[in-house]
C-alpha cells in the first residue's frame, strides 16, 4: 500500500468512526425533507461492499442514502 492509498484508507476509517461514534446517534429524517437554515445535516452514503469507490474509482453501485439532523445550536 503506497502513501496515497494509506492516506485514503485513514480518511475512510476516520469518517467511519465519526459516523459510528456521533452521526448515527442523531435523529434520522427523510432524504427529501426541506433544509432549514438553523440546522446542520449529515447525508450518509452506504456503498455495497463490491463498489469501485473502495478501489479509488467512481461509485458503480446504488448506495443507500440516509440523512441525519444535528440538534439546534444556540
The residues binding Zn ion (CB under 5 A) are 47, 51, 53, 59, 61, 63
In the complex with Zn ion, the residue whose CB is nearer, 33 or 65, is: 65
Q: Shortest gap between Cβ of 73 and Zn ion (angstroms)? A: 32
Q: Enumerate long-range contacts of 36-42, CB under 8 Å, 24 or more apart.
A: 38/72, 38/73, 39/69, 39/70, 39/72, 40/69, 40/70, 40/73, 41/67, 41/68, 41/69, 41/70, 42/67, 42/68, 42/69, 42/70
- Nearest approach, Cβ of 26 to Zn ion (angstroms)? 23
Question: For residues 61 and 69, which CB has a smaller minimum distance to Zn ion in the complex?
Answer: 61
Amino acid at each position: 500500500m503506497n502513501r496515497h492509498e494509506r492516506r485514503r484508507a485513514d480518511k475512510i476509517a476516520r469518517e467511519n468512526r465519526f459516523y459510528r461514534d456521533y452521526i448515527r446517534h442523531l435523529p434520522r429524517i427523510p432524504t427529501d425533507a426541506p433544509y432549514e437554515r438553523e440546522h446542520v445535516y449529515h447525508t450518509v452514503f452506504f456503498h455495497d461492499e463490491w463498489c469501485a469507490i473502495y478501489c479509488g474509482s467512481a461509485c458503480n453501485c446504488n448506495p443507500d442514502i440516509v440523512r441525519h439532523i444535528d440538534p439546534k445550536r444556540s
